[in-house]
Structure 1
């Protein structure tokens, strides 16, 4: 009888616990931001401006969730994304202040400068295998993959266009709007991980970021909210969802 009561208690506990876990997971998924990524209707050039024909009518994501201490000036950042058979294209627009950029070495400490970042996993069901592309406002990139570092030769296959000079020093203290655009070749990504190529019905996981660590207006801003007590972008469980159309 004692053994029967023990088994019954365990069953009752599981009956309560399993729905709770399912509910928590469902709630977490429901909180993820989602972005509908359209197929490019015409060729996209990295030098195309925010309002040019290639980007006209493309909705943007708002990068507005702050981590850590609130900065004295709150940059306004947003991004747009489209794709075709061979590339993914992203453009950022940042209404900023206290802008500084000095890193010129590929895979250098670009995150210390005024920079934007795009973390993405081409495997929606396995977001831990993600790439992180970080580019300072002068156009110098850092590009890594969770399993290892792509070669400099491959990184240079990512076309980048920055609206600001390569070096921004001294710091721009007045308000300034700058843009950053890039195109990433899908076949290059396939050298480092399994890539589910974009097409209607395919989803990836990703997050868009704005950062500046070493200037007079330190900040960390995200698209999908990252629930962590300290600023940290390398948390793929908080990536939002890219739904390709």
Structure 2
């Protein structure tokens, strides 16, 4: 699948620094998040159903980690995948793809509404029978370093068809990234230039949808050449 040469990322986001890591409460209104910029996912892919969730994300960082929280005003919420490295994109799911300024690849952190997640490092995103030409699943010992908390139960089946708002919060230590991309010293603040995108999906819900922060020219989240600028202040 080729990427149109004319497509350019239209967005940028700054991850502000914090002196205190937010408590892992999945509370969108917590005072700690008042220091974070809010990014809204407003680009709905035309392949989607008529369901258009309202999704926003906030990020902060310190010398140890990136902290994030998603707020989703949703319907048709379904969660059946449980555990680590499971295909959470088939559930009601939010995703953070990001490329540090070191190393050849990018990370994709995918989290369903119940807190199950998938975490990989992709060096070549061309599709093949095994997924991608060159990628590594983040090992359990590093995946366990990621902290998650959601306001939804671990399993939601049957799906919730009525309006519901859910949040999921994560803490992503730089130490969990370095075994894959290399040392991040000097790239975790001070205006360091990363790139990435934010996503929402629900492939196997009754109303499938694909929503992005920075727009994409086709339904493929794995387009690192089109990641938008993300600066660590």
Runs of 4+ with deviation above 4 angstroms: none
Q: Indicate the structure with greater strand content.
A: 2
SS at match of 1:192: helix
Summarize the alignment of residues 33-182 of structure 1 with structure 2, pairs less than 5 Å apart. 33-123=11-101, 129-146=105-122, 147-182=135-170
Separation in structure 1 between the aligned mates of residue 165 and residue 52 of structure 2, nearest angstrom: 13
Matched residue, 1:240: 228
RCO comparison, higher one (Cα < 8 Å, 6+): 2
For normalisation by structure 1, the TM-score amounts to 0.83
Q: Report deviation, 1:56.
A: 1.6
Separation in structure 1 between the aligned mates of residue 54 and residue 183 of structure 2, nearest angstrom: 31
SS at match of 2:96: strand
Judge which range, 32-41 or 80-89, deviates more.
32-41
For normalisation by structure 2, the TM-score amounts to 0.87
Cα deviation 1:72-103 (Å, max 9, x = unaligned): 22100010000000010010000000000000
Separation in structure 1 between the aligned mates of residue 220 and residue 83 of structure 2, nearest angstrom: 23
Matched residue, 1:185: 173
Cα deviation 1:49-73 (Å, max 9, x = unaligned): 1111110242210111112324222
Unaligned stretches of 5+ in structure 2? 123-134
Q: Report deviation, 1:28.
A: 5.2
Separation in structure 2 between the aligned mates of residue 195 and residue 227 of structure 1, nearest angstrom: 33
Separation in structure 1 between the aligned mates of residue 105 and residue 210 of structure 2, nearest angstrom: 23
Separation in structure 2 between the aligned mates of residue 69 and residue 234 of structure 1, nearest angstrom: 17
| Contact 2:76–2:205 (CA under 8 A) maintained in structure 1 | yes
Q: Report deviation, 1:48.
A: 4.9
Q: Report deviation, 1:188.
A: 1.6
Within the candidate set 195, 203, 209, 2:199 is matched to: 209
| Contact 2:7–2:217 (CA under 8 A) maintained in structure 1 | no
Judge which range, 174-183 or 59-68, deviates more.
59-68
Check if 1:223 corresponds to 2:213: yes
Cα 1:28/1:226, change in 2 over 3 Å: closer
